[in-house]
Chains A and B, each alone.
Chain A
Amino acid sequence: MHAMDSHAGWFLENVWIIPLVAAVSFLAILFVGKRLPERATAGIGILAVAICLVLSGGVAVQWIDRTNHPPEVGHATTGAGHGGTEEAPADEEGGHAPGALSAGESAAAPVVGAAEGEAHESVPPVVKELTWFQIGGIEFKAGTLTDGLTAMMLVVVSTISLLVHVYSREYLHGDVRFTHYYAFLSLFTASMLFYVVSSNTLQMLVGWELVGLCSFALIGHWWEDKSNSDAALKAFLTNRVGDTGLIVGVVVTFFAAGATSFGVLHLNEYALSPEANQTLLLVGGLCLFAGVTSKSGQFPLHTWLPDAMAGPTPVSALIHAATMVVAGVYLIARLYAVFFEGLNIQFNSINYIALIGAITVVGGAALAFVQHDLKKVLAYSTISQLGYMVMGLGVGAWTAGVFHLFTHAFFKAGLFLGAGSVSHAAHHTFDMRKMGGLRKHMPSTYRTFLICTAALMGIFPLAGFWSKDEVLAGAQQGQQQGYTLMLVMGVIGALLTAAYMTRAIYYTFFGEYRGEGHPHESPKIMTIPLWVLAFGGLTFGLLNLPKAFQIDGVIEYTTRFEHYVEPTFLFPEVEHPEFSLPLALVSTALALLGIALAYQYYWLERSPLKGLSARQPFTAGYTLLANKYYLDTLYTDIVVGTTKGPIARASYWVNQHVIDAVVDAAGAISVAVGRVVYRDIDQKVVDGLVNGSGAGAEESGEVLRHIQTGKVQQYGAILFAGAAVLAAVFVIAV
């Protein structure tokens, strides 16, 4: 057993095992799954993810322990230096980072929260790396970086993945590609876990692309239907647009930070150092944000996410609600120093990330009103909620954004799985016009759906209330000044969220059943995951109670999430928003107003808003929404259309008239030149030389053949004569 950092436990040191377990499960299912019964295939996947969950739990527990008893800086240095087993030189990063802390304490000042009274000691993350490859004397590392954010993501991903694995056992029962489905589910889990434990941006890029691939494969799971494979392609291609930016961003940040390491800690350290080039950070940050825009469904590259609902519903819950789409949010959170310094979040009242987030909040929520497909309502809701997360990070409220990611993962996965359960009952349709009245038929699904919806709307005291309110408080208070525009849009988003979810609930669970057959409650294997997620949506907000709620003797632990998850090491100094009672009341009141308006509109059908969409000034709005802001039209008809149409014709003309002329001229000139060369140079000069050398060889051979008599003694005589001459020359000359 090698010497370890005595404070970093086994789980923190060996997080690499977690993605490996899922990857092994992928290979096992891929190679032997076909020959096994469904139960065994699903069993492999469920077992592997359960192991991942246990290990992730171990990581979380040990991280909490490490935060409670932070290693002393000097000790951490020696510990990390010893930490390497076979990767002794590779531990440089780990040994280097705490060293940089002691050196850069005055410059970077990674101690956060000291201003708030609670002693937030700097807890260095656990880094384990070995050399991946070497180019030009630079060693590129691959490894794991474990801190609170990683631990939180590990737990979220494994939990949701486990529930989805269990749920899919029934949902995908009897599917043609059951094995394929489980294999990709495992691969996705492995890739996502790999992504969150990555210690450098290059590795994150690999994980990022892998989850994209799994998303593509799973959206197109039922590819026999053309629209499904189209949706998969659309998701893939839209993501490529952003990924280009991501790659450029990775390269820009790499070169900005001295072109020595892709390490996350290295980049953050550089961004926080006084010699950082703010322009480069801004460019790098915006390029990285292009990747976030596509992966996390931000305006205007969100269009793939609703179409991605073509995949099986558990996949939508896992990939397109809880985990993969938050990869972008995670990227911002991971490289927060780059964004914080690059976009100057501290001193601004508006910046690109916060603005895009805010637009996404309102834009996504508005689009959810005109959908008839339950899953698409949820998809636009996801877009809108992702907007909240990005907005939270954009205004400097790191914890709020990440906390919203955490709570949203549970209640939104619950909503998606609930929608799947509904569809399972209502003959595999997601069209809300063919549902209705399911409240009586599916009590479990109804109750969990209601709880998760309330959490999403931000009803006190469910999870969404706390996290959304924290984002809004962050926007209100900002860093040096408030982000007022974002606050207003965020509050409007809260109102819209409540209203469209009321509409969805009304269509799905109330009124009379409008579909075919007799709906029935789903089996326990599907409802148990629903209850688990509903429990999360109900209570997980309490993990980060604001400080104002601290009552001695009753509620001792507030801001636990912030305390354990927020990095304190190489992290910008962020101000934490205070809980604001008026803001909480306003946002709750608006949510209730949204519910009331929707209730009046849909239940009582005597709303002052009745016929709104038919009235003249508003039809245009409705049409705009129904056509999804014409973004798809913009992309397919204008961007792709012009590329195919006029641009294609123009390029054909250029091809025919310019390029062909050039080619023809070049051809004619080469022919003329070729003739001259043939006649004068080739025939006369080259052939002359060749023939001359041949003739010369022949003539000299004719002379010299007389010497070669075949008589050995003659040769010997010549040899001795030559030797005698040389000896004579030697004697005379020396």
Chain B
Amino acid sequence: MVSRLQAFLVRRLLWALPVLALVSVVIFGLIRLVPGDPAIVMLGADADPARLAAVRAELGLNDPIYVQYIDYIGDAIRGDLGRSYVTNREVSAAIAARLPTTLFLTLAGFIVSLAIAIPAGLLSATNRGKTLDGVGLSFGLLGVSIPNFWLGIVLLIAFGVNLDWLPVAGYVSPLENPVEGIRYLILPGITLGTAMAAVVTRMLRSELLEELRHDYLDAVRMKGVSDLRVLGHATKNAFIPVVTVIGMQFGYLLGGSVVVEQVFSIPGMGRLLLDAIGSRDYITLQGVVLVYTTFFVAVNVVVDAAYFFLNPKLRGEQ
């Protein structure tokens, strides 16, 4: 028998697939909108005619556009995103080499943001109107107003250049060297995670205040349950809507990593993307954007599943 969770997930996947399809059409179409002959745009007008012909063949420019698209997607599903004419590398290989770096960075930002937001939101809500709440509220407002790249530069000036405590540029994989790897991820993680921490702090605070207002908590308190456990109960309920926001923010972290990689010279997918833009390497560009978007959509599906799982009403428990 199909459980409600399974049915729900299938529905979400059925939503995600057309979105991905549409997104891929848009990316594909956009690249074709580049004025002029893409082959000449990529190689320059005085390029070797044989290479121009090879690029046209690789792009399938002689076929009708829908054939080109179907070919591209067919290959993409099998993991082949084409070969870059600038670097002469397989795009999927280039992405595979960079993807773990970007994911570790995003994860670092995610951990930092929750490590800040959960205590900050709880303290802010339970100390409503007091100094701590003011600090939490100010953080919520400032955190979303400071662009992450500038926060990164300020951290670089303070911790990297003046205090010399942490590495300011580069990347070591935490899989190869956990201690160094984490040291390299601390400043980028804070840079990336602060904005999300601010958003989640605000959201958690207001949801928790809403929850603490409910009468049922008084009843629980009167039964002699400790304040801490009452808070725990309220927090669990307050978290349900917060999860959606956390999920959406995770996607933004992925986008923000492009900027943070640039600040801290981290060789991730964002650098690959910027290099591709700089060298008009449209084959790499469309592959990278497609992979980012796939992750973004996948995260949304996972978040919806988590939301479903946390929310007893949706789960329909008997």
Co-assembled chains A and B: no
Interface residues of B (CB under 8 A from A): none
Interface residues of A (CB under 8 A from B): none
